[in-house]
């Protein structure tokens, strides 16, 4: 099977490959920057989370404090899942971090 490609077809394929390459670079850069941001933030040592935990430890019957603790626990779990997925998708990032 032989493909008959003209100069016009080749130029179209080059443009498509450049667009897909640029998109791939943008996605990779976004994922790397989000990993760096998560490493800088360090959500487990967040002062807001620690203060809410201290308030909850003082008064565990308070429903408002319980909701805040639950919200921050979901937040930390989501961040953990994001980091884990990034490291699973890009094993090279695990060596860098």
Residue 2 is assigned to a structural domain of this protein: no
Residue 60 is assigned to a structural domain of this protein: yes
What's the number of domains the chain is made of? 1
Q: What is the pLDDT along the chain (97 residues), one digit of tens a residue?
A: 677 888 888 899 999 999 999 999 998 888 888 777 777 777 667 777 778 778 777 877 777 777 877 787 787 788 778 777 777 777 766 665 5
Residue 34 is assigned to a structural domain of this protein: yes
Q: Alpha-carbon distance 50 to 70, whole Å? A: 13
In terms of residue numbers, what domain contains 84?
Answer: 7-96
Residue 61 is assigned to a structural domain of this protein: yes
Look at the block and give the residue holding tokens 């899942």.
81
Residue 16 is assigned to a structural domain of this protein: yes
Global pTM value: 0.49
């Amino acid at each position: 099977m032989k493909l008959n490609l003209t100069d016009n077809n080749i130029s179209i394929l080059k443009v498509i490959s450049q667009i897909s390459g640029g998109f791939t670079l943008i996605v990779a850069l976004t994922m790397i920057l989000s990993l760096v941001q998560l490493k800088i933030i360090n959500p487990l040592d967040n002062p807001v989370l620690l203060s809410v935990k201290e308030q909850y430890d003082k008064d565990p019957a308070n429903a408002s404090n319980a909701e805040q603790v639950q919200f921050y626990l979901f937040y930390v779990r989501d961040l953990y899942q994001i980091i884990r997925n990034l490291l699973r998708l890009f094993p090279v990032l695990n060596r860098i971090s």
